[in-house]
Amino acid sequence: MGFCRSAGWRYGALWIVNLLAGYPLSPYFFSIVMDGLSSSFDEIVSTNNIQGVSLGNASISHLLYADDLLVFGKASIENAQILMDLLSCFADISGLKVNNDKNTILFSRNVLNVHCISSILNIPITSYLIKYLGIPIFHRRLKLIDFQPLLQKIYSSLDGWKAKTLSFAGRMQFIKFTICNTLGY
């Protein structure tokens, strides 16, 4: 795996971790470290060590948002072991640990060895709805009804607007800071 193989990156990552606590540029260093993790995923997918999910011509193996990681792939014991090795190596080098209390794994239908894969990754299996950033994650394409809780949150924010007489500039600021932050979160 590229993340562990590169000695230069290893020393750079260790140097970055030492600077993270209380350093004004720590968000940038965190981004650099996470970019290294993303590059490692790209490398193991390009060398066919792990298979992502194909959508048309694109193959998606992972998505990163802030400090969250979503991993997509073929549910196999081999992929689980490679993923576990990658995450362990990342934790050893970067000092950033995976929080298993916040993790869940969702399998598609008709997958064999779900309990074995779950035990390798040390992640509990879930069969119920998972919400990420307020949007449910399903096995099917999302419909308008799935976005109703998010839309309801926006509508409730707008109710506060109706009670106040705001100028045009005030309304624009309200939209910018209230609704856009709701969608961004």
Higher local confidence (pLDDT), 183 or 130: 130
pLDDT recorded at residue 181: 66
Which range (15-19, 84-88, 111-115, 169-173) has the least confidence?
15-19
Mean pLDDT of 143-165: 75
63 in a structural domain = yes
Considering the domain architecture, whether residues 97 and 36 belong to the same structural domain is answered as yes
The verdict on 39 and 107 lying in the same domain is yes
Residue 154 confidence (pLDDT): 76
Among residues 83, 136, 127, 79, the alpha carbon closest in space to that of 105 is found at 127
167 lies in the same domain as 90? no
Whether 50 and 107 map to the same domain: the answer is yes
Q: Is residue 137 part of a domain?
A: no
Say if residue 119 is in the same domain as residue 152.
no
Report the domain count for the chain. 2
* Cα torsion angle, 118, 75, 69, 48, sign: positive
Q: What percent of the chain has pLDDT over 90?
A: 0
* Same domain membership, residue 105 and residue 35: yes
Same domain, 118 and 168: no
Domain annotation covers residue 136: no
Give 69-95 pLDDT, tens digit per residue: 888 888 888 888 988 888 888 888 888
**Residue 121: domain span:** 2-128
Write down the pLDDT at residue 59.
Answer: 78
The answer to whether residue 163 scores a pLDDT higher than 60 is: no
Per the domain annotation, does 172 fall within a domain?
yes
pLDDT tens digit sequence for 15-65: 344 444 455 556 777 788 888 888 888 888 888 777 777 778 877 888 887
pLDDT of residue 69: 82
* Shared-domain flag, residues 30 and 72: yes
Q: Grade residue 143 by pLDDT with cuts at 50, 70 and 90.
A: confident
The predicted model gives 4-9 an average pLDDT of 38
Residues 65 and 6 in one domain: yes
Q: What is the per-residue pLDDT across 117-133, written as a single tens digit (0 to 9) for each?
A: 888 888 888 766 677 77
Q: Are residues 71 and 159 in the same domain?
A: no
Q: Looking at the domain assignment, is residue 141 inside a domain?
A: no
Same-domain status, 24 and 64: yes
Instruction: Assess whether 93 and 159 both reside in one domain.
Output: no
pLDDT at 12: 36
**Residue 112 pLDDT exceeds 80:** yes
